[in-house]
Chains A and B, each alone.
Chain A
Amino acid sequence: GENVEQHPSTLSVQEGDSAVIKCTYSDSASNYFPWYKQELGKRPQLIIDIRSNVGEKKDQRIAVTLNKTAKHFSLHITETQPEDSAVYFCAASSTGGYQKVTFGTGTKLQVIP
C-alpha cells in the first residue's frame, strides 16, 4: 500500500517568513495530492491540492510543487501570518473507484509574531 512520509514534524518561523513542508510517497500509481490544515480540536480543511498532470499550483500565499519522478511534493507558505499556525497534513491517493487517501504524519507549524 501507499506510504507517505512528512517532514518536519514541527516548524517554527517568524511572521513574514516562508514555511516549507515536504512529503514523499511510495506508490507510483498515486496521482492526487491534497494538503489539509487542522487547527486544534477542529476538522481538517482542504487548503490546496495538486494532480499528477501538473508540477506546481499556486493559490495566493500557498503553493504546492510535485516531482513525480522523485515521488515527492511540497507545500510552500509565503509571508506567514500567526493565523497560519496549525497542523498541516499532506496526503496521497490514486483517483477512480474507491481509492483511499493516505495521510502523512503531520507538521505542526508555529508562526511567531
Chain B
Amino acid sequence: GAVVSQHPSRVICKSGTSVKIECRSLDFQATTMFWYRQFPKQSLMLMATSNEGSKATYEQGVEKDKFLINHASLTLSTLTVTSAHPEDSSFYICSARGGAAQETQYFGPGTRLLVL
C-alpha cells in the first residue's frame, strides 16, 4: 500500500514554455500533498503544501505565480512550472500523506525537468 506515482518522469522543454507535473496517490486518499525540489547532492527543499480543495501554502521564497499548484481531488495534485527557464531545471518530487498512518509521507518517483 501507500503508492504514489508521478508523471512524467523526465521532461525536456524550451525556455518560456509551461510544464505540468502530476502526482497521484494510487491506493489511499491524500489529504495533504507536498511538492519538493531537489538539487544534485542536496536535501529536499519544500516548495509548497497542498491540501485538497484549498489553496496551496507556499514556502518563503517560492513564487506562487511561477509554480502553480492544484489539488483538485484526494488523489491528484499538479504542479505547473510556468514560463520555465534554465534555472528551473531540477528534480521535482511530490509526496502524499493520508490514510492509516497520517504522519507518514510517501514519495513519488520524481520528475527530472531540463529547460533548454
Contact B49 A100 (CB under 8 A): yes
Residues in B neighbouring A89, C-beta threshold 8 A: 43-44
Contact A42 B110 (CB under 8 A): yes
Residues in A neighbouring B46, C-beta threshold 8 A: 100-103
Residues in A neighbouring B109, C-beta threshold 8 A: 42-43
Q: Check: A16 CB closer than 8 A to any chain B CB.
A: no
Nearest chain B residue, comparing its CB with the CB of A101: B105
| Docked pose: A98 CA to B52 CA in angstroms | 11
Residues in A neighbouring B107, C-beta threshold 8 A: 36, 43-45
Contact B42 A93 (CB under 8 A): no
Nearest chain B residue, comparing its CB with the CB of A46: B104
Residues in B neighbouring A45, C-beta threshold 8 A: 107
Contact code string B39-62 (vs A, CB < 8 Å = 1, else 0): 001111010010100000100000
Asked, given contacts A89-B44, A106-B43, whether A34 binds B108 with beta carbons under 8 Å apart, the answer is no
Distance in angstroms from B39 CB to nearest chain A CB is 11
Q: Check: A105 CB closer than 8 A to any chain B CB.
A: yes
Contact A98 B103 (CB under 8 A): no
| Docked pose: A102 CA to B103 CA in angstroms | 12
Contact A32 B103 (CB under 8 A): yes
Distance in angstroms from B33 CB to nearest chain A CB is 10
| Residue in B34, B49, B103, B110 whose CB lies within 8 Å of A43 | B110
Distance in angstroms from B65 CB to nearest chain A CB is 21
Nearest chain A residue, comparing its CB with the CB of B94: A43
Nearest chain A residue, comparing its CB with the CB of B6: A43
Contact B34 A95 (CB under 8 A): no
Q: Check: B21 CB closer than 8 A to any chain A CB.
A: no
| Docked pose: A100 CA to B110 CA in angstroms | 19
The 4 tightest CB contacts between A and B, nearest first, are A43-B107, A32-B103, A105-B43, A43-B109
Report which B residues bind A (CB closer than 8 A): 31-32, 34, 41-44, 46, 49, 51, 57, 93, 102-110, 112
